[in-house]
């Protein structure tokens, strides 16, 4: 329902300002008149288009807000202090707008929900639970830890892949440069006689890069547009996401990353007082894989029917047996949030270890592959000379 900011006069002429929720501007005017107010200005409040901010900056602001509340600083004053921050101007402006909304009588969680690009649904739900339960400062402290864990996981995945990507890009650039600038210089040596197949192939690739590069760029652009168009089709995207799970080793890694994210979110929500069904719905949306989201949806229906959580997760086939067993023990011992956090820690360590091993194996494999490509180019250029020397 839209929110309208209004200015009005009461029965004695005193100016009154605030916000209210109404289906339309006419409904807002009728509501104000029913309160005995004479509106002078009514306008729908639209949240400014928000862009995401860095995870570290958001975690620091949550930790600072929790410390201020724990020290006894009122919420509105704490929000104003965050709004005067200098390290991240965009985030400070967002907190300032939230402070304005809270000052107008809006609840903190609802004000944060107006900025989905900054505050995801998971975080808004935790803040809403903290408001209702009166433990808002604890929620912000846990949010800071939650975001830092996610950022750490993301940085490990990206960091482990940086060197192989750079190595592959540099090697690819060297090969392209050799085909454009080095190989054509050998044409004059190979104008006579029948060339071997590897040499003809190499010369053909070099000719395409040197003489027909506009058509090559056009073809690459067409393929890129076609791939983008195909990726927008949900059915094809679903088949590709399912296919990646069947790739040896890589599928297990993707599954572990998604399950770690799901258990981290679900455990954090449950630890902050979010009811199980609501927490599972939010965690489902944060799972990051359609197959896992379907499994969580089926588990949610089973829990709604009174069944335990572990069994439907086991039936989905997405969760490893050891993970299901830990969840089952957590349900039996009534400490599921703690167990889910432990599962997330275990899976994140497993992912980090797997990525570390893969990167260590990938580096020599890439070096050998690039060396083989360079050697193939060299042999394709030298082979005709060797044949001529043998015939002589």
How do residues 224-264 score in pLDDT, each as one tens digit?
Answer: 998 888 777 777 877 887 888 888 888 888 888 888 888 88
Lowest mean pLDDT, pick from 35-44, 183-192, 209-218, 225-234: 183-192
Instruction: Say whether pLDDT at 311 is over 80.
Output: yes
Instruction: Say whether pLDDT at 389 is over 60.
Output: no
**Residue owning tokens 């864990």:** 149
Instruction: Say whether pLDDT at 21 is over 80.
Output: no
Residue 291's CB is within 10 A of a number of other CB atoms, namely 19
* Complete edge-to-edge strand list for the sheet that includes strand 15-21: 15-21, 3-9, 38-45
Phi first, then psi: what are they for 120, rounded to 5°? -65, 165
Distances in Å between the Cα of 299 and the Cα atoms of 224, 280, 286, 293, 325 are 38, 9, 15, 10, 15
Evaluate whether 258 touches 292 at the Cβ level (below 8 Å). yes
Q: Which of 270, 250, 268 is nearest to 258 (CA)?
A: 250
Report, as an integer, the average pLDDT of 299-311. Answer: 86
Instruction: Say whether pLDDT at 367 is over 80.
Output: yes
pTM for the complete prediction? 0.64
N-terminal to C-terminal alpha carbon distance within the chain: 89
Instruction: Say whether pLDDT at 207 is over 50.
Output: yes
C-alpha span between 280 and 284 (Å, rounded):
6
Residue 222 confidence (pLDDT) = 93
Lowest mean pLDDT, pick from 76-80, 288-292, 368-372: 288-292
237: tokens are: 């995207």
Confidence class of residue 51 from pLDDT cuts 50, 70 and 90?
low
Q: Which of 149, 89, 140 is nearest to 119 (CA)?
A: 140
């Amino acid at each position: 329902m839209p929110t309208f900011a209004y200015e009005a006069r009461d029965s004695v002429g005193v100016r009154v300002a605030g916000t209210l929720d109404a289906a339309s501007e006419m409904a807002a005017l009728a509501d104000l008149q029913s309160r005995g107010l004479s509106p002078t200005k009514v306008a729908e409040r639209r949240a400014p288009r928000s862009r995401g901010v860095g995870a570290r900056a958001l975690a620091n602001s949550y930790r600072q807000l929790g410390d201020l509340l724990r020290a006894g600083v009122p919420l509105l004053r704490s929000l104003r202090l965050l709004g005067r921050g200098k390290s991240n101007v965009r985030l400070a402006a967002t907190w300032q707008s939230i402070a304005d909304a809270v000052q107008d009588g809006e609840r903190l969680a609802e004000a944060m929900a107006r900025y989905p690009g900054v505050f995801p649904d998971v975080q808004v739900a935790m803040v809403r639970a903290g408001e209702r339960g009166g433990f808002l400062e604890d929620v912000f402290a846990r949010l800071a830890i939650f975001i830092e864990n996610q950022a750490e996981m993301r940085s490990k995945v990206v960091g482990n892949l940086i060197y192989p990507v750079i190595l592959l890009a540099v090697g690819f650039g060297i090969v392209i440069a050799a085909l454009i600038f080095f190989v054509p210089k050998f044409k004059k040596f190979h104008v006579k006689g029948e060339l071997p197949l590897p040499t003809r192939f190499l010369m053909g690739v070099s000719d395409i890069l040197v003489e027909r590069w506009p058509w090559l760029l056009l073809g690459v652009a067409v393929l890129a547009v076609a791939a983008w168009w195909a990726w927008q089709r949900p059915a094809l995207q679903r088949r590709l996401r399912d296919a990646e799970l069947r790739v040896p080793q890589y599928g297990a890694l993707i599954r572990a990353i998604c399950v770690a994210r799901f258990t981290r979110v679900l455990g954090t929500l449950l630890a902050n007082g979010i009811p199980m069904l609501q927490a599972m719905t939010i965690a489902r949306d944060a799972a990051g894989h359609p197959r896992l989201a379907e499994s969580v949806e089926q588990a949610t229906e089973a829990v709604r029917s009174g069944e335990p959580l572990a069994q439907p997760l086991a039936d989905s086939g997405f969760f490893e047996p050891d993970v299901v067993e830990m969840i089952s023990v957590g349900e039996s011992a009534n400490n599921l949030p703690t167990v889910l956090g432990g599962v997330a820690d275990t899976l994140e360590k497993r992912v980090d270890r797997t990525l570390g091993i893969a990167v260590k194996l990938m580096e020599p494999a890439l070096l050998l592959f690039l060396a083989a490509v360079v050697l193939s180019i060299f042999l394709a250029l030298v082979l005709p000379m060797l044949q001529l020397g043998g015939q002589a």
